[in-house]
Amino acid sequence: MTTGALLIAAGSMGLATAPPASANEPIANPSITVTGGCAGARSLVQIYWHSSNEASIHWTLTDTDRGDGKPPVLRMNAVGADGAQPFVFRTGETAAVLHGDTVSGGEDTWNPSDIAQFRRLQIITQNGTTASGVECSTTKSVYNFSRVAYHYSLDQTDKPYEWGTEGPDTFDCSGLVYHSYNRVPDLPSDWTRKTANSYYSWAVGEAANNESNNSNLQPLDVLRVPASERQVGDLVFYDGHVGFYAGDGRLYSALNENAGIGYTSIDILTRQDQYYYRIVGVRSSTSS
């Protein structure tokens, strides 16, 4: 990878020299990787959601047309109910302006101040600054659906199991999943109540449509991940049952009348397959 000279722009586009791009390594097992950009500018952002309010971020910004005289610009914002907080690059600025080929960096534990719930990451990639003129700009909003839904599901711990119910006082397995996701802000309206097996068929079908680089992800979508890449909040499917992966080989679900809602071994039932299913969302817009 060729690294050009990175300049960081403040709100007024005043510039300062950034430290070397090799200070941060790519994330080995991101929750999601999103590409963005338009003519002359390309970004690649990896996100690992640690929880409903914290993430690791790794970014790469590339100038794909050195001859156009317009430097690529990258901005990122954490968005929650309490507002938006900008990603601060290593020099303390909130926008990266690239004069060169490619540069990258990141933050291991980003817990934006004053945001109780890190619901989505907004990624803005544009070709050109105010001084040079902006040729085009793309915005991608990446939603933290899985971890926020899992966070809400924990509110139901130790409540009774009752087949066919979806709360607020009793739940069955798919009712718990439906109720938890239905509380997530910004979840598209086509999220509907299904049986465990119907949720499985839906998840498999959605995951099968994805391009290998995630370039066509929709506002409500699914990533199918192998066991080696599973993360807390991923859905686990069995024949007639569904639950959340809770880490350390545990399943969190509404299991039956005796167990109620809580934790069990991930191997308590026969799996539909050995994959895990991560519900994600990406909204995109472009202007020029």
Q: How many domains does the chain have?
A: 2
> Domain limits at 165?
145-285
- Label residue 13 by pLDDT band (50, 70, 90): very low
Asked whether the predicted pLDDT for residue 160 surpasses 50, the reply is yes
| Closest-CA residue to 166 (of 180, 176, 155) | 176
**281 plus 166 within the same structural domain:** yes
- Residue after which a domain boundary falls, among 143, 159, 186: 143
**226 plus 260 within the same structural domain:** yes
Asked whether the predicted pLDDT for residue 97 surpasses 50, the reply is yes
- Residue after which a domain boundary falls, among 113, 143, 173: 143
**Mean pLDDT of all residues in the chain?**
89
**135 plus 258 within the same structural domain:** no
Least confident of 19-23, 109-113, 185-189: 19-23
How many alpha carbons lie under 13 Å from residue 70 in its C-beta half-sphere? 23
Measured distance CA(259)–CA(251) in Å, rounded: 12
pLDDT of residue 18: 30
Q: Is residue 18 part of a domain?
A: no
Q: Is residue 21 part of a domain?
A: no
**131 plus 247 within the same structural domain:** no
- Residue after which a domain boundary falls, among 108, 143, 178: 143
Query: For residue range 113-125, what is the model confidence (pLDDT) as tens digits?
Result: 778 899 999 999 9
- Label residue 288 by pLDDT band (50, 70, 90): low
Query: For residue range 41-69, what is the model confidence (pLDDT) as tens digits?
Result: 999 999 999 999 999 999 999 999 888 88
